[in-house]
Amino acid sequence: MTLEHSQHGNEQTDSTTTLNKLGAWLDDNTLMRGAFYALVAGVVITLILDYREMLKSDQAIAPVVTPRRANPVLPAFTPPALPGSNEQETRENPVPNITTDSETLNNPMTIELASGGVLKMTGFIDVGTAAKFEQKIADISEYISAIELNSPGGSVFDALEISSKIREMGWTTTVKAGALCASSCPLVLSGGKIRIAEEGAGIGVHQFFSFGEDTRTASEAISGTQATTARITRHLETMEVDSQLWVHALETPPQKLYYFTADELKKYKLVSQ
């Protein structure tokens, strides 16, 4: 073998060794990169799934709001009596004479302290009204003795929170003659330690529903409705109000109102005097 051949052979050996090392290095890095990308993909997928579940959960407890109406004073409505019932199927409770104008009722709720320690709450219960209520009473709670309601309703969850706070403070709730307390407003009324409805006050309920775009599936919507109904029932019982009162809400279409008679208000203990 000549020197030239020997050198050529050594060069081939060195090249082969270098290529083998490079290939091994590339294989190791490729595997590491592949494992890293797989890990990242797994984390991303997990986050996406968790986010979807979170959205479902949020939608299931989405605020239940009665939409504002051009005229919140709806016609009287009484569901037909059940078969075998002694109640007259054609009976309808009289429509109360609501003297507050529709524009005032449909504006966002105002919360103002009047003379005699009366906190007047007038207007629509928007989402966030409970927080507004808490902020309003923070510095004046010692001066408040009664809550005067005049509202077509609105956010069910805000109404429940306000009601619980009223009970915690031991205040009286009232609905004056010519005033309206409808939809979710009776839940606020139930919070009063003493609950008063003057003759001529309009107090009514109907079915609640989510307002605006609802992306929930049918099963999710049903689940959310059942959960909200259970929460309302527990709240009424805690407030020492007969939860059978809410059956009238479940039976009454959202475009109508079931107005309670004076006898029914006493029967269901929504008023204490």
Q: Give the 3-state DSSP-derived string for 79-141, with helices as H, strands as E and coil as C.
A: CCCCCCCCCCCCCCCCCCCCCCCHHHHHCECEEEECHHHEEEEECEECCCHHHHHHHHHCCCH
CATH number of this structure's domain 102-267: 3.90.226.10
Greatest distance between any 2 Cα atoms in the chain: 124
The pairing of beta strand 172-175 with beta strand 146-150: parallel
Encoded amino acid at 15, one letter: S
DSSP 143: G
Q: In terms of Cα–Cα distance, which of 135, 127, 186, 192 is closest to 157?
A: 127
Q: Measured between alpha carbons, how far is 247 from 236 in angstroms, rounded to an integer?
A: 12
Per-residue pLDDT, 94? 80
Task: Answer for the pair 250, 229: CB distance below 8 angstroms, yes or no.
Answer: yes
- pLDDT tens, the chain, 273 aa long: 443 444 444 445 555 555 555 455 545 555 556 554 555 455 445 544 554 454 444 444 445 555 566 667 777 776 665 666 555 544 567 889 999 999 999 999 999 999 999 999 999 999 999 999 999 999 999 999 999 999 999 999 999 999 999 999 999 999 999 999 999 999 999 999 999 999 999 999 999 866 555 566 767 767 777 889 999 999 999 999 999 999 999 999 888 899 999 999 999 999 996
Task: Answer for the pair 220, 112: CB distance below 8 angstroms, yes or no.
Answer: no
pTM over 0.75: no
Task: Report which secondary-structure segment, H or E, holds 192.
Answer: none
Task: Answer for the pair 243, 237: CB distance below 8 angstroms, yes or no.
Answer: yes
3 state DSSP class of 160: helix
Domain boundaries, the chain: 1-60, 102-267
Q: Which residues contact 272 (CB under 8 A, 6 or more apart)?
A: 192, 194, 195, 196
Q: In terms of Cα–Cα distance, which of 189, 184, 192 is closest to 158?
A: 184
Task: Answer for the pair 235, 163: CB distance below 8 angstroms, yes or no.
Answer: yes
Q: In terms of Cα–Cα distance, which of 254, 121, 259, 153 is closest to 202?
A: 259
Task: Answer for the pair 144, 137: CB distance below 8 angstroms, yes or no.
Answer: yes
3 state DSSP class of 23: helix
Q: In terms of Cα–Cα distance, which of 81, 117, 120 is closest to 100?
A: 120
Encoded amino acid at 108, one letter: P
Per-residue pLDDT, 17? 59
